[in-house]
Chains A and B, each alone.
Chain A
Amino acid sequence: MARRQSTRRTLLLTLLGWTLGILLFFPIFWTLVASLKTESDAYTLPQNFLTTPWTLENFGIVQERSDYVRYVVNTGLIVILSTALALVLAVPAAWSLAFAPVDKPTSRLNGWTWLAIMLSAAGACFIVLYVNDWKVSNFFIGLALLLLVVIPATIWVWTRNTPGTLLWMLSTKMMPPAGALIPIYLIFNRNGLVFRDWGVFDLREFNLMDSLWGMVPLMTMLNLPIFIWMLFTYFKEIPLAILEAARMDGALFWNELTRVLMPMALPGIASTCLLNLILTWNEAFWSLNLTNKYAAPLSFFISEYSSPEGQFWAKLSAASVMAITPILIIGWFSQKQLVRGLTFGAVK
C-alpha cells in the first residue's frame, strides 16, 4: 500500500471485516458446536451454549449406526478414480490444444453445411422412428440411429479449430443435468424398453446403478471440460523451446509428455486435481439420483438426515463436520486454483 492509513480507519475496517466474516462463517461454527453436544442438548442451543457439557460421543455414534467409514471410502474412491481417469484423458488433450494449436477449421465443409448434415441425420432418425411407432425394437437399429447422430457430431467437433474446440468443451459443461437425467437414470437402472431385448446382450446384466462403475465415468465426464481448460492454461505457460529441445534430443511423444512436460507442469496438474477433488467431493445432483447404498458418497449420506426419526441434530452435525472438514481445509489452500478453474482462465 502506498500510504499508511489512519488507525481509526483501520479500526473501523477491522470491526466491519470481522463482523462480516464471523457472520458468514457462523453456520459452520454452529455445526461444530452442535456436534459436540449430546442430542438433547443440541436442541437447547444457543441459550445453553456454555453450560451444557461437551462430548465426542456423536462421532462414534454416527460411525456405529451408519458405517460412516464406508461413505468416506466411496467418496474417496469416486474422487480418486475419476480424477485419475480425467488426467489420462485430459493431459494429451491439453497438450494438443496448447502446443499444436490449429488456427482454422480443418474441414472443408463450412458451418452451414454441417448444420444441414446434422439436421438431415436427425430428420432421418425421426422419420424412421415415427414410422416404427417410436419403438426401437432392435439393438442394431438403435445403435445405427444413435451413431447417425453421434458420428457427424464427433467429426464436426474434431475438425474445429482450437478456440472452437475449447468453447465447445465449455458448452458441454453448460448443459443442464435435467436434460440428461432421464436417459442416464434409465441406462443406469438397467431399465428395459430401449435397452431391453437387444438380442445380442441384455443390458440388465450390467449394473451401473448405485455402483462405482457408473459413478466414476460419469464424474469424469462431468469434470473433463474444466480439467482440460485448466491444464490448457497451465501448459500455455511452459516455453515451447524446452519441448523442442526434447524433440531434438530424440524424445518422441510419450517421453516428451512424461519426462519433460509433466514434471515441469506438476504444480499446475496438482492444482487441477485439487480443484477436481473439491468439485467431485461436493457433487450432489447425480450422487443423490444415482446412488443408494453401495456406492453412495458422503453427500448422499448426509441427505439421509432430511427425514429421519427422532432427534438427529447432533448426529447430523457430527456427520457434517466429518464430511466437510477435509474439503474446507483443502479449499483454504486452493483459492488461486479455484479462481483459475472456475472462471475458465478469464480471471487470473
Chain B
Amino acid sequence: MGSITLDHVNKSFGVHQVIPDASLEVADGEFVVFVGPSGCGKSTLLRLIAGLEDVTSGVIRLNGEDVTEKGPAHRGLAMVFQSYALYPHMSVRDNIAFPLKMAKLDKAAIDGKVAEAARILNLNDYLDRKPRALSGGQRQRVAIGRAIVREPKAFLFDEPLSNLDAALRVNMRLEITELHQQLKTTMVYVTHDQVEAMTMADRIVVLNAGNIEQFGTPMELYRNPANRFVAGFIGSPKMNFVDGAEAQKHGAFAIGVRPEHISVSTTEGLWKAKVTVAEHLGSDTFLHVAVDGLGTMTVRAEGEKLLNHGDPIWLTPDPARIYRFDKDGRAVAAH
C-alpha cells in the first residue's frame, strides 16, 4: 500500500531547473535509495515526494492516488531528517506521541503505540529525557520512532547517517535494514554514500544534476552500468578510465575497468606501470600506479603482496570485464 510514482516531474527554482524530467516507480515494500554527488537533486526529489516542495509540473502518485496538490500533512508519509529535527522542548515520549496527537488518537491508543515504538527501537530508558540529553545515535532512533509510530505508507530518509561517526553509521545501517525487513514498508533513502546505497537498497536511483542516470538493483548497476557516470560512481575504489589510442584498440571512445578486475604481476602483463602509493589494508592492498602512456590507475592486489613506492609492476585487465563507452559516455555492448 505504499507504491510511489513520479510522472514527468519537473522542478525549477526560478529559472534554475533542478530536476528536468523525472519519472520512476517505486513498488510497495521496496527499499529504494537515491544516490548521487552533492547538488544532484536527490534531496529535492525526496522533498517533492514528501510535499515539502511544490512540483513545477508533473504528477506524484501514492498508491495510484494523485497527491501532487496535497500538503505534507495529508500524504500519510513519514520523514527522518538529516538533523533529526526533534522537538527540543518535548520529551522523547512526547516527540514520538506528537504525530498521534495530530491524528487525534485517544490517550490509550497513543500510549500503546509509543510503547511499541520504544520497544522496537530500544528507547525505553530514555522516554522522559529531552533531546539535548541524548547522543546522536539515540536522537536518530527517536526520529525513527516518531516516523514508525504513524504507520505511514512509506518512510523517507534524508541522509540520516551523515551526522554520525563511522562505527555508529555501520550499526545504524544494519538497524535500518532490519527495520525494513521487519515492517516491510516502502522506504526511500537519500545518501551520497554509495556504500550505503549498495548495502541497503533493493533498487538504486543514481542521480546526476537532476537527471536519473540509472534505476536498477545494486548488482545491475555494478555489472551493467548504463553510462560512464554510473560506472564511475558505483564501486569503491572508482573504476579506472582510459581514453585515446588504447581505448580505440578495444573499439570504443573510452574504456573502463574496475580495480578489482586487473591482475598484477611483477614479471609480465599488458601494461607496464610504476607504483606511486601502496595502501595496505591487511585484507586488500590498493596500489595507485602510474601506467606508461595511460595515466594513473588504482589496482587491487592481494593483501599479502608487499609492493612499495617506486616498484615496477605489470597490469593485465580481465578482457571480459572491460567496459566500453562511446563519446557521449553511454555504455556500448556490455559484456
What is the interface of chain B mostly: helix, strand, loop, or mixed?
loop
Q: Given known contacts A250-B73, A251-B102, is B81 in contact with A245 (CB within 8 Å)?
A: yes
The interface of chain A, by Cβ under 8 A from chain B, is 239, 241-242, 244-252, 255, 259-260, 263-264, 266
Nearest-CB distance from A140 to chain B (Å)? 43
- Any chain A CB within 8 A of the CB of B134? no
Q: List 21 A-B pairs, Cβ < 8 Å.
A: A239-B85, A241-B85, A242-B85, A242-B87, A244-B85, A245-B79, A245-B86, A247-B52, A247-B71, A247-B73, A248-B50, A248-B73, A248-B79, A249-B102, A249-B150, A250-B73, A250-B99, A251-B98, A251-B102, A264-B87, A266-B89
Q: How far is the CA of A251 from the CA of B101 in the complex (A)?
A: 9
- Any chain A CB within 8 A of the CB of B83? yes
Nearest-CB distance from A243 to chain B (Å)? 9
Q: Are B73 and A264 in contact (CB under 8 A)?
A: no
**Contacts of B81 on A, CB cut-off 8 Å?**
241, 244-245
Interface residues in B32-76 by Cβ distance below 8 A to A read: 50-52, 71-73
**Contacts of B103 on A, CB cut-off 8 Å?**
250
In the complex, number of A-B residue pairs with CB atoms less than 8 Å apart: 59
What residue in chain B is nearest A244 (Cβ atoms)? Answer: B52
Q: How far is the CA of A216 from the CA of B146 in the complex (A)?
A: 44
- Any chain A CB within 8 A of the CB of B78? yes
What residue in chain B is nearest A256 (Cβ atoms)? Answer: B73
Q: Are A241 and B73 in contact (CB under 8 A)?
A: no
**Contacts of B73 on A, CB cut-off 8 Å?**
247-252
- Any chain A CB within 8 A of the CB of B198? no
**Contacts of A250 on B, CB cut-off 8 Å?**
73, 99, 102-103, 150
**Contacts of B197 on A, CB cut-off 8 Å?**
none
**Contacts of B82 on A, CB cut-off 8 Å?**
241
Q: How far is the CA of A246 from the CA of B72 in the complex (A)?
A: 9
- Any chain A CB within 8 A of the CB of B282? no
**Contacts of B150 on A, CB cut-off 8 Å?**
249-250
How many residues belonging to B are interface residues under a CB distance threshold of 8 Å?
Answer: 23
Kindly identify which residue among A239, A244, A249, A266 contacts B146, using a CB–CB cutoff of 8 Å: A249
What residue in chain B is nearest A263 (Cβ atoms)? Answer: B89
**Contacts of A263 on B, CB cut-off 8 Å?**
89
- Any chain A CB within 8 A of the CB of B275? no
**Contacts of A255 on B, CB cut-off 8 Å?**
102
By Cβ-Cβ distance, the 5 closest A-B pairs, closest first, are A250-B102, A249-B99, A245-B85, A241-B85, A263-B89
Nearest-CB distance from A42 to chain B (Å)? 52
**Contacts of A241 on B, CB cut-off 8 Å?**
81-83, 85
Interface residues in B124-169 by Cβ distance below 8 A to A read: 146, 150
Q: Are A247 and B72 in contact (CB under 8 A)?
A: yes
Beyond contacts A245-B79, A248-B78, A250-B99: 13 other A-B pairs, Cβ-Cβ < 8 A, are: A239-B83, A244-B72, A244-B85, A245-B87, A245-B146, A247-B71, A247-B73, A248-B52, A248-B73, A250-B102, A251-B102, A260-B87, A264-B89
Nearest-CB distance from A242 to chain B (Å)? 5
> Which of A241, A242, A249 neighbours the largest number of chain B CB atoms within 10 Å of its CB?
A249
- Any chain A CB within 8 A of the CB of B77? yes
> Which of A244, A245, A247, A263 neighbours the largest number of chain B CB atoms within 10 Å of its CB?
A245
Q: Are A248 and B77 in contact (CB under 8 A)?
A: yes
Nearest-CB distance from A270 to chain B (Å)? 14
**Contacts of B146 on A, CB cut-off 8 Å?**
245, 249
- Any chain A CB within 8 A of the CB of B88? yes
What residue in chain A is nearest B147 (Cβ atoms)? Answer: A248
Q: How far is the CA of A250 from the CA of B73 in the complex (A)?
A: 4
What residue in chain A is nearest B82 (Cβ atoms)? Answer: A241
Nearest-CB distance from A266 to chain B (Å)? 8
